[in-house]
Structure 1
């Protein structure tokens, strides 16, 4: 397998990867390399779609994901791998190491998914980082990930697995330098308002509170029928930013000051009319303005 010399911060060429401590890019691992060079250790996570194991490749520790139910989820799993392949070369997406049939390998992020953030901050080695600066940077990183997905090289993408706060947070991993990377990409769907390409993530009744108004059953006095739910676009993600960021900011000293500076843009994000909500770039620009003001 050939290697590619890499300058600092430079992204790897197509179909190759570099883990944090690697000095060079390596081609994605295929079936042969995964079979011969990867050792699977213990299970570290499990969902409907896949089981995730701790594994080693050479001197590196990686996450080894294996399809749980071939019969029911093969298309979702294949979509996950396809999205990982197409969305590499971005700091906002987990690094793909390789794939083979019903298995793929990604960079391991030991802190786990974002819904563990309070537990992470309670750990002795991270308690000093439990401050408003770190929490704001996590929030900014989340908005940056949304902005990337909405402006990705393959179109405007929405993560459909976002029907509640816990599920939304579980789609992202916390890196060791306390940024977020999108990890579960099997539910990504493309939208294009100009081309009238809209989505309907699920055909079941959702409770109000976290999801956007357009995801709810609009006919109050009629029997629910999933086939009559409205279609929508990426502005559904914009609505959810407030609730995610409120959670990430927590209740540390200074978090309410940040909230006050973000109040106006968050109010705009939760306009009941999706067309009146700002796009991800407008939101990101406002977050950067607040960062420069409060954390120069």
Structure 2
């Protein structure tokens, strides 16, 4: 009888525990949903309980500047700042020759604000040419290998392939954004590309620098700048195109399209995974899709959505490996 009662007690305890865990998970989901669903003219930061209106010019003037975060780049100066008890980032033009790029980046951020693939807008002041975004303490994508190697528990080959998936999900969002098909232009080498991304608190990549994201209009092409591009990291059509920014390149077929982003995907993913000791385990799975990305004929390269689907499939396959 005692054993029977004890079993019932255990079952009751387990059911209560399961119920409590379920409630906690539901609460977390509600909070996460709330955090990610502020309207475009509001924001919420980690530790806040509700959405707050975007900071106004007066509020931005009263931010406490802590230190400068960047020395490189021609477009903007970036400062770690504080609003109330929250760390934020203040951005202002560095060189007025690039004010159009600065304003373009802010305008795109306003339009895309609220999506979890994009840095969160906290406020802006058009008359001062200043805007404010959330602060990500992990820094930009150039830190990714150092952060992975310093956290052996989190540094699995599965996690690294997840980061590859994370990157192509960003591309998929850009190529199918609500404001049109955007091309990730400011990415002519791996270091430059990674510097445009941030690593958030959940160790996911998010798009940070939106200054150079031209929109491909219907039946048109784009150029990533007006200077000749070189190097194997960029797509062949970028190297072969005359980067003369005359007005006819858009409609004459002398430019290129979003498939230049797809060409770079294998290099980005290999950079993330190749230093892991189990790198060779995933080479077999990645070979075919990465070969397609490197097709000289850009029309034969997969779309970003096809890459997302394939990477998700590969992750499911990796789950069947007991040693990963």
Q: TM-score, normalised by structure 1?
A: 0.89
Aligned position for 1:42: 67
Structure 2 length-normalised TM: 0.82
- Rounded Cα–Cα distance in structure 1 between residues aligned with 2:282 and 2:268: 14
Say how many residue pairs are matched.
Answer: 280
For residue 78 of structure 1, what is the aligned residue in structure 2?
A: 103
Q: Match for residue 292 of structure 1?
A: 316
User: Which ranges of structure 2 fall in alignment gaps of 5 or more residues?
Assistant: 1-29
Aligned ranges for residues 241-280 of structure 1 at < 5 Å? 241-280=265-304
1:105 aligns with 2:132: yes
User: C-alpha separation between the residues in 1 aligned to 2:144 and 2:201?
Assistant: 12
Kindly indicate whether the alpha-carbon contact (under 8 Å) linking 1:238 and 1:279 is maintained by their aligned counterparts in 2. Answer: yes
**Residues 134 and 178, structure 1, Cα contact 8 Å, conserved in 2:** no
Tell me the distance in 2 between the aligned counterparts of 1:107 and 1:91.
Answer: 12
Give the distance between the partners of 1:65 and 1:173, measured in 2 at CA.
Answer: 15
Tell me the residue number matched to 2:260. Answer: 236
Partners of 1:260 and 1:96 lie apart in 2 by: 40
Structure-to-structure mapping, 1:182-221, within 5 angstroms = 182-192=207-217, 195-217=218-240
Name the SS of the counterpart of 2:32 in structure 1.
coil
CA-CA distance at 1:7 after TM superposition: 4.4
Change (3 A) 1:225 1:97: closer
1:116-152 Cα offsets, whole Å, 9 max, x none, are: 22232344xx343232122112111111101111111
Secondary structure, aligned partner of 1:143: helix
Q: Which protein has the larger Cα radius of gyration, Structure 1 or Structure 2?
A: 2
Q: Distance in 2 between matches of 1:79 and 1:226?
A: 21
1:141-180 alignment to 2 at 5 Å?
141-180=166-205
Runs of 4+ in 1 over 6 A off after TM superposition: none
Write 1 or 2 for the structure with the bigger share of strand.
1
* Higher normalized helix content (fraction of residues): 2
**Residue segments in structure 1 that go unaligned for 5+ positions in a row:** 1-5, 219-223
| Residue in structure 2 matched with residue 60 of structure 1 by the alignment | 86
Root mean square deviation of aligned Cα: 1.8
Distance change >3 Å, CA 251–CA 225, structure 1 → 2: closer
* Counterpart-to-counterpart distance in 2, 1:30 and 1:251: 45
